[in-house]
Amino acid sequence: MISRAEAIAELERRIGHAFADRDLLDRALTHASVGNGSAKIRDNERLEFLGDRVLNLVVAESLIQQKPDAQEGDLSRAMSQLVNYHACAVVARAAGVREALRFDASASKVGARDNDRVLGDACEALIAALYLDGGIDSARRFILEFWTEAFAGVDAPERKDPKTLLNEWAMGQGKPAPRYRVLATEGAAHAPRFTVEAQVEGFAPSTAAAGSKKEAEKLAAERLLAAHGALS
């Protein structure tokens, strides 16, 4: 596994920005688990707050430019597709944030590095760091580059929720509604990890883990559908 210093260098290479303020970058990549909330340890939560506002501004600005005839409701729906922790987590992985993050050992042990909500928050903190270090143009450049694919998919038909699909599939098999059961809950309050089982009567269950019960249920439903060739 590469060192954190190498991961940070790779992150800067991917995003095309060398930080003048190294402490700012380190803070953007430091999870709240480090130091157990000590005031001496500056984590990325305040940067996340700012980054969320910068991200919303840049995405809204871009949507207005790309969709000059769209109504407010259509723009709001597009915003909800583009600005959420799942979309931010996808970008965090693509940019190399996952490998560069700094965690407390216990948080890392329970899978915080692969938690979409944690990665999404870190992505927003990075956006704030880019804004503070290089100005709005640096933040905008990063967002428009790494959200290119997401923008392209805004007008695509919305895919049904995996739990809805599993329910429909179970009904088609003449079975009762699927059941979901929490098998394990791990991690601290700031980085929980839920393992959930999805089961349809007469079929082998599937399990999945995520940072929320709702997300774990979705993933388990998706895996169960995939196991039976029913994932559209």
**CA–CA distance, 96 with 110 (Å, rounded to integer):** 20
Give the mean pLDDT of 57-80.
94
Q: What does each C-alpha distance from 161 to 91, 167, 195 come to in angstroms?
A: 21, 10, 19
- pLDDT, residue 112, reads 75
| Cα 178 → chain centroid | 26
Catalytic residues: 52, 124
pLDDT at 33: 79
Average pLDDT over residues 208-231: 88
* pLDDT tens-digit map of 82-132: 999 989 999 999 999 999 999 876 666 667 788 888 899 999 999 999 999
Q: Which fold has domain 162-227?
A: Double Stranded RNA Binding Domain (3.30.160)
Q: What percent of the chain has pLDDT over 90?
A: 67
pLDDT band at 230 (very low <50, low <70, confident <90, very high): confident
Is-above-0.85 flag for pTM?
no
60 near 143, Cβ under 8 Å? no
Nearest-5° angle of CA 52, CA 92, CA 162? Answer: 90
Paired with 210 in beta bridges are 194
Mean pLDDT of 70-84: 92
Q: Which CATH architecture has domain 4-152?
A: Orthogonal Bundle (1.10)
How confident is the model at residue 1, as a pLDDT? 62
Question: Residue 187 above 80 pLDDT?
Answer: no
Determine the Cα–Cα distance for residues 218 and 175; give it in Å rounded to an integer: 19
Q: What is the pLDDT of residues 19-61, one digit of tens each?
A: 999 999 999 999 887 765 554 457 789 999 999 999 999 999 9
| pLDDT score of 104 | 77
Domain locations in the chain? 4-152, 162-227
